[in-house]
Amino acid sequence: MTAPRPLRDADLSRVEGVFTDVDGTLTSSHKLRSTTVRALERLADAGLKLVLVTGRPAGWGEAWARTLPVDGVVVENGGLLFLRGPGGKLRKVYAESPRVRESNRKRLVAEVADVLRRVPGARLSMDSAYTEVDLAVDYNEEARLGEQGAERIESLLRARGVTAVRSSVHINCWLGRFDKRSAVRRFLKLAWDLRLTPGDERFVYAGDSFNDAPMFGEFALSVGVANVRRVLDRIETPPAFITRAEEGRGFEELARAILAQRGRGARRGVRV
């Protein structure tokens, strides 16, 4: 595995948009700091596109899409997304058809319930009530199951054919052929008729945990906030670069670097 390089080594002068995880990447100790929101605002004010990519529920995603300075939100690990449609209206797009979602949901609820009965202290996250496609098991938000408990739950779910991937707070569980990567590809096509190309310098992805691995592999400019070090020895694909600071402060560090390099690039005549 190639170790991430320091963020200072990244060429961010041509960045046009930022895709970012939320928990442990924008949040700090489970809270969204005003300085991190300001970093998002500064990026948006500079004309950058901003998209949140998270395992959190659809209910959270709609609220964020309406209240934060973002162009869209991918939620439930790619199960659905929100983007601006004609006239600026918010558009909701699912990864799968209603028939498939209904069938998968029924089976998922049963499989997860059976696993929860087998692991002492395991429970759904409080916000699973607001999901439409996936479910989340709390291991590090209100619950404290530790590594062994989380790994046990993941193993049991995967043995039942359920996709189970950890964020910094939850074990996200779903049935279906989607993930953050496939949803972001779809978002780029629907929103801007774009696709990522190898070595693409137009977009950055920021994340911190296991469920960000597909995105770290997708983006040439992938950035882990410093707390990603806790999982680097186990993550399938590491980020290309890493910040000095953890969590939201790490994202703020990334935002400052992007704005600084874009400013220098504009002075040199680089298209931004």
Per-residue pLDDT reduced to its tens digit, 139-182? 999 999 999 999 999 999 999 999 999 999 999 999 999 999 99
pLDDT tier at 243 (50, 70, 90 boundaries)?
A: very high
Instruction: Report which of 173, 76, 167, 166 is spatially closest to residue 115, judged by C-alpha positions.
Output: 173
Please give the residue that has the higher pLDDT: either 227 or 2: 227
For residue 47, pLDDT over 70 is answered with yes
pLDDT tier at 272 (50, 70, 90 boundaries)?
A: very low
The pLDDT tens digits of the residues spanning 96-129 come to: 999 999 999 999 999 999 999 999 999 999 999 9
| Cβ proximity of 249 and 25 under 8 Å | no
How distant, in Å, are the alpha carbons of 27, 50, 79, 94 from that of 249? 9, 17, 28, 32
Instruction: Report which of 87, 56, 88, 96 is spatially closest to residue 74, judged by C-alpha positions.
Output: 56
- Res 73: pLDDT: 98
Return mean pLDDT, the chain. Answer: 94
- Res 63: pLDDT: 97
The region that residue 5 occupies, defined by phi over 0 for left and psi between -120 and 50 for alpha, beta otherwise, is: beta
Q: Domains of the chain by range and CATH?
A: 5-92+178-268 (3.40.50.1000), 98-174 (3.90.1070.10)
Strands 203-207 and 17-20: parallel
Q: For residue 162, give the amino acid letter.
A: V
User: What's the pTM value of the predicted model, to 2 decimals?
Assistant: 0.93
Can you tell me whether residue 203 is helix, strand or coil?
strand
Q: Tokens representing 158?
A: 């995967």
For residue 76, pLDDT over 50 is answered with yes
